[in-house]
């Protein structure tokens, strides 16, 4: 629990009033979760606003969708983007495959050492078996990862038409999810504002007109 909720209750010369204490502690309520990381000394707003970051991300996505829907499939813009994305995907796959192979080699080395290790007593044999089981599972997981990366590397990158269609489809799905998130943020802000107004009225604050 944060001690600073009560620090200013005993502030010399100008202690918190009961109303100020109530409004400060109100930040701990789930209704005001978007304000929980602000400084406690900040005045509690009378109106809770929806999440600006979600709103800005929604506008950015909508702008990107509008841009892609205007793009000519034979334009230099799309040709350049298509090539850049293809090369980036290839580089990312090669890097991931390199790291996964490196990890696999290290696990195999450790597996060999674990198998060769002689426990000091019979009471330690379970530990050897436990180590081997852990390494076997890790090796299976790594083999699956490497197999997926090899198949992904062998897949043909979509042509420009397909690439554009897939990008637009993906953006539309992301926009739907983000729009729903923002809708929830708006609904939560309305409910939080109602909660704050009720709280202010109960301790003598004048609600906003």
In this structure, what token pair is assigned to residue 191?
A: 């409910």
Query: Is the pLDDT reported for residue 37 higher than 80?
Result: no
**Helix (H, G, I), strand (E, B), or coil: what is residue 64?**
helix
As a whole number of angstroms, the distance between CA 92 and CA 67 comes to 26
| CA-wise closest residue to 29 among 9, 8, 5, 53 | 5
How confident is the model at residue 184, as a pLDDT?
95
Report the sign of the C-alpha dihedral through residues 142, 145, 147, 150, in that order. negative
Q: Could you tell me which of 176, 169, 194 has the C-alpha nearest to residue 48?
A: 194
Q: What per-residue confidence (pLDDT) applies to 207?
A: 46
Q: Tell me: the pLDDT tens digits for 97-121? A: 999 999 999 999 999 999 999 999 9
Q: Examine the pLDDT at 7 and tell me if it is beyond 70.
A: yes
pLDDT of residue 208: 44
pLDDT in tens, 45-81: 888 889 899 999 999 999 999 999 999 999 999 999 9
Picking from 35, 38, 6, 24, the residue whose alpha carbon sits closest to that of residue 205 is 24
Confidence of residue 41 (pLDDT cuts 50, 70, 90): low
Q: pLDDT value at position 24?
A: 82
Q: Is the pLDDT of residue 125 over 90?
A: yes
Q: Structure pTM?
A: 0.68
Q: Are 168 and 69 in contact, with CB atoms under 8 Å apart?
A: yes
- C-alpha angle 124/126/128, rounded to 5°? 80
Domain ranges across the chain: 4-51+187-202, 53-182
The number of angstroms, rounded, from the C-alpha of 55 to the middle of its chain's C-alpha atoms is 16
């Amino acid at each position: 629990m944060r001690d600073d909720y009560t620090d200013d209750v005993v502030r010399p010369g100008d202690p918190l009033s009961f109303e100020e204490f109530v409004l400060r502690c109100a930040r701990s309520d789930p209704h005001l979760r978007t304000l929980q990381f602000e400084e406690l000394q900040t005045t509690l707003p009378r109106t809770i606003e929806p999440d600006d970051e979600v709103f800005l991300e929604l506008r950015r996505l909508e702008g990107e969708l509008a841009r892609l829907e205007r793009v000519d499939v034979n334009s230099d813009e799309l040709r350049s983007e298509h090539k850049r994305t293809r090369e980036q995907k290839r580089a990312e796959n090669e890097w991931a495959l390199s790291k996964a192979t490196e990890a696999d080699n290290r696990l195999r080395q450790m597996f060999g050492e674990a198998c060769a290790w002689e426990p000091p007593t019979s009471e330690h044999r379970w530990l050897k078996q436990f180590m081997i089981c852990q390494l076997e599972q890790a090796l299976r997981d790594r083999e699956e990862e490497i197999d997926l990366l090899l198949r992904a590397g062998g897949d043909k990158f979509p042509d420009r038409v397909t690439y554009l269609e897939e990008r637009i489809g993906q953006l539309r799905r992301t926009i739907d999810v983000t729009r729903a998130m923002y809708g929830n943020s708006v609904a939560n802000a309305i409910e939080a504002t109602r909660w704050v107004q009720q709280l202010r009225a109960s301790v003598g604050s004048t609600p906003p007109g």
